Amino acid sequence: MAVVGFCMGGMYALKAAGTGRFARAVSFYGMGRVPEMWQGPTQGEPLDALAAPGACPALEIAGTVDPWLPADDLAALEAAGVEVVRYEGADHGFAHDPSRPAHRPGDAADAWRRAIAHIGAA
């Protein structure tokens, strides 16, 4: 079984990767670190979860101009073993909801292809 999430759900998909319950995880623009405004005593960090024994392989789909995913966070995800795919010039939410200004059909199609291939590799 795989877990897939978008934005906050993508951050939780990264956290879920460390639970040992999933074979694969895909995060579409999920934050690598809990944003300051969301931090609290019950909010664990995605990077800590990814370092847990038995963490499943994870894929991060990210745009290079996404304000929620700075380059150093993407580098930290890669250092934690996450496969990170960057889409140059893409903003947050580029792979879903064609009615949104950030939508990029070509990049979205490629991102979905990669997500399905990642899940299928389980």
Q: What is the mean pLDDT of the chain?
A: 96
* DSSP secondary structure letters along 52-121: STTPPPEEEEEETT-TTS-HHHHHHHHHTT-EEEEETT--TTTTS-TTSTT--HHHHHHHHHHHHHHHHT
The answer to whether residue 122 scores a pLDDT higher than 80 is no
- 92 C-beta neighbours (distance < 10 Å), count: 18
* Residue 88: per-residue pLDDT: 98
Q: How far apart are CA 43 and CA 109, in angstroms?
A: 32
pTM for this predicted structure:
0.95
Residues in CB range of 6: below 8 A, 6 or more apart? 28, 29, 30, 93, 96
CA 119 vs CA 80, 91, 99: distances in Å: 19, 24, 27
Confidence of residue 10 (pLDDT cuts 50, 70, 90): very high
* Residue 97: per-residue pLDDT: 87
Task: Report the pLDDT averaged over residues 25-29.
Answer: 98
Q: How far apart are CA 85 and CA 100, in angstroms?
A: 21
Confidence of residue 121 (pLDDT cuts 50, 70, 90): confident
Task: Specify burial of residue 49 (Cβ count, 10 A radius: 0-12, 13-18, 19+).
Answer: buried
Q: Kindly report the backbone phi and psi dihedral angles of residue 43, in degrees, each rounded to the nearest multiple of 5, phi listed first.
A: -105, 100
Q: pLDDT (tens digit, 9 = 90+) per residue, 41-97?
A: 999 999 999 999 999 999 999 999 999 999 999 999 999 999 999 999 999 999 988
